[in-house]
């Protein structure tokens, strides 16, 4: 089996054989031209003359005999006890007199799911699979937008623990202090990754509806005249609030929901939330909540017009509008 730094892959071996056996090159000259030793060249030429062209293909590097491999009977016992008891390697190993690490390797080799992915009563796999792991991108701006809310703790006057260290929460009074949260509502266009965000006091239905209309107006300023579809999670304000449904009606947009417990289906705004935290909320030390809030709009302008986006071939979102 050739590795990524091997001097001879399958094509290189074929070229070596052609030069020596068909074009009449000396073995030493052909080996030097391809940067391998004469012994290596002779080995491949001998293999070709003995078995033919198919012998130049990669072979498995697995040994023919593994004297220390776990016996098949032991592996069957491990798998049977796992199905019966639904316990982990630390319990199965002592029961069978086998090291827990050996049990773990056997389970992984046979593709047995982790206990955290299984129902504790039946043992069936219940963890949701990433059915939308394949990347997708809509064809035009406004065809689909992603909407979500990120809750971020407020900054007390004078700065929080990022400004003064962990001792800010050392006393009981400081630990009990109710500082509250900022609710950062965001909308991201699927095609261009254009983003719009606002800091609002809550995530109620009327608040989400008002944000949706203002975000659509902001998108129109960038040239996205119509929003066709809006995808959100299953939060009560999105699924049941009449105000949000009315806002969708005013926009003439269709409402899509992600599958429960599958946040990656709303991945573009979820990833934007992470960028929002690392590059705006926690990028520098702010001494007040108002100071951080004032820094959001300039950062959004930079994000949309200057910041390189890897999904857009290192171009900003404005380049697609």
DSSP 156-168: PTT--HHHH-GGG
Fold of 145-320: Nucleotidyltransferase; domain 5 (3.30.420)
Check: CB of residue 231 under 8 Å from CB of residue 144.
yes
pLDDT of residue 165: 67
- What's the pLDDT at 130? 59
Which pLDDT score is estimated for 255? Answer: 96
Query: In angstroms, rounded to a whole number, what is the distance separating the alpha carbons of residues 61 and 234?
Result: 50
Residue 235 confidence (pLDDT): 94
pLDDT number for residue 60: 82
Q: Cα 252–257–260 angle (5° rounding)?
A: 170
> Tokens 């089996």 — which residue?
1
Return the pLDDT at 95.
Answer: 92
The whole-model pTM stands at 0.60
Residues contacting residue 135 through CB under 8 Å, at least 6 positions apart: none
Give the C-alpha separation, 270 to 150, whole Å: 9
Below-70 pLDDT ranges, the chain:
1-4, 127-134, 160-177
Whether 82 and 93 have beta carbons less than 8 Å apart is answered as no
Ramachandran sector of residue 30 (left: φ over 0; alpha: ψ -120 to 50; beta: rest): alpha
Q: Closest Cα partner for 230 from 214, 220, 245?
A: 245
- Per 3-state DSSP, the chain is made up of helix, strand and coil in percentages (nearest 5) of 50, 10, 40
Helix (H) or strand (E) holding 148: strand 145-153
What was the pLDDT predicted at 121? 73
Q: Residue 124: what pLDDT? A: 83
């Amino acid at each position: 089996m050739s590795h990524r730094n091997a001097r001879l892959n399958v094509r290189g071996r074929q070229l070596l054989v052609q030069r020596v056996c068909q074009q009449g090159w000396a073995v030493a000259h052909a080996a030097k031209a391809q940067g391998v030793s004469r012994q290596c060249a002779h080995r491949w030429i001998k293999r070709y003359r003995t078995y033919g062209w198919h012998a130049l293909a990669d072979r498995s590097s697995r040994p023919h005999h593994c004297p220390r491999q776990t016996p098949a009977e032991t592996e069957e016992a491990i798998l049977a006890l796992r199905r019966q008891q639904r316990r982990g390697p630390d319990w199965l190993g002592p029961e069978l007199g086998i090291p827990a690490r050996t049990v773990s390797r056997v389970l992984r080799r046979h593709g047995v799911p982790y206990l955290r992915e299984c129902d504790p009563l039946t043992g069936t796999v219940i963890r949701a699979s990433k059915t939308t792991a394949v990347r997708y991108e809509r064809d035009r701006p406004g065809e689909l937008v992603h909407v979500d809310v990120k809750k971020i703790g407020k900054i007390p006057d004078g700065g929080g623990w990022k400004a003064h260290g962990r001792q800010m929460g050392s006393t009981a009074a400081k630990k009990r202090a109710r500082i509250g949260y900022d609710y950062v509502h965001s909308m991201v266009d699927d095609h261009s990754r254009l983003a719009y965000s606002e800091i609002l006091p809550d995530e109620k239905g009327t608040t989400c509806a008002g944000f949706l209309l203002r975000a659509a107006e902001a998108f129109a300023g960038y040239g996205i005249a119509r929003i066709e579809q809006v995808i959100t999670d299953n939060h009560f304000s999105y699924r049941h609030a009449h105000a949000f449904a009315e806002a969708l009606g005013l926009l003439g947009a269709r409402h899509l929901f992600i599958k429960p417990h599958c946040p990656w289906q709303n991945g573009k705004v979820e990833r934007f939330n992470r960028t929002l935290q690392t590059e705006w909320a926690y990028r520098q030390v702010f001494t007040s909540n108002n100071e951080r809030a004032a820094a959001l709009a300039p950062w959004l302008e930079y994000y949309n017009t200057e910041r390189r986006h890897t999904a857009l071939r290192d171009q900003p979102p404005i380049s697609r509008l």
